[in-house]
Amino acid sequence: MKFKVVKLYPKGPFRNIPRSTTLFGALANAVAYLYGEDEISAFIKGFSEARISSLFPFSQETYFLPKPLTFDINLAKLARRYLKGECGSKCFKDRERNRALIELKKIKGKKFVPLEYFEKTINGEEVSIKKYPEPYRLVEVPKVSLDRVTANSSIYFWDGIAFKENSGLYFLYKGSKEFFEKYIVPAISFLGDHGIGGKATWGYGLFRAEIDELEIRTPSGDSFVTLSLTYPSNPASLKYWKIEKVGGWTLGKRKPKIPFVVEGSILDEDPGKMIELNLGRKIYVYGLSFLIPTKIL
């Protein structure tokens, strides 16, 4: 399967790694600024076919994706084989085996895995264990606050994410070329100078964008892994999943926390839902799925 890739090369730290809900909200705000409020309905209507994923990290030519929930199941099977020596010609000597088991534990704690691991997992293939580069690190950025009465200053720290050289974030797009060029490209160009993910006035979330393509090797089947926060239209479609309540702010008002199926969850072919809220005006929250076929062993 081929997808459009929008790569964001950060000009500074990001507050966090934005999810599909944040990305959609930022795109919608950019469309409203560029084209006017009347164009929002056409933008939202376009998502009857168009889809965006959450943002994920990349490092040079290595794309990282959310770890499918079946990944840890396969890792557990692989670990048992290593411990029992049931790996044929691929068996390790004791020291090498222990090193491989340590790497297995490290990978189990990761949120994202390289495209190579992702493809092997969804195709039901064994993952070969090797180290891979970390594209980002957590940082504490010092800030100064002033007391309004005494004018005394105090230092505090704000968490952020800093990216290595030639690293950054990206999201996938599938849908019509016309919709992409009319809305997504101009909106991303606008957001590059205005920021995404909060604290843009501090220099967070600013970036230079680049458009590319990515092909993911996928199997055939009726099970899928989602690459976006998903609000399923049919809860019975869920197979392996985790739920996370996601809130936030819009127009100075707090949005209610909504339960989403997280990226990497496995489900049947469920389109998800666009959620409509009334907070004095209509607010749309992105809950559509971005589905990639997967095998379940």
- List the structure tokens of 216: 């993911």
pLDDT of residue 20: 98
Range 215-224 average pLDDT: 94
pLDDT of residue 127: 75
- Cβ atoms 288, 229 nearer than 8 A: no
pLDDT over 50 at 89, yes or no:
no
**pLDDT tens-digit profile of 122-155?**
998 877 766 777 788 776 666 556 656 665 666 7
pLDDT over 90 at 280, yes or no:
no
pLDDT of residue 248: 77
pLDDT over 70 at 185, yes or no:
yes
Closest alpha carbon to 173 in 15, 294, 61, 7: 7
99-103, 127-131, 158-162 — which one is most confidently predicted on average?
A: 158-162
Around 61, how many Cα atoms within 13 Å sit in the side-chain half-sphere?
2
**pLDDT tens-digit profile of 220-268?**
988 999 999 999 999 999 999 999 999 877 766 778 899 999 999 999 9
Q: What is the mean pLDDT of the chain?
A: 86
Identity of the residue numbered 216: I
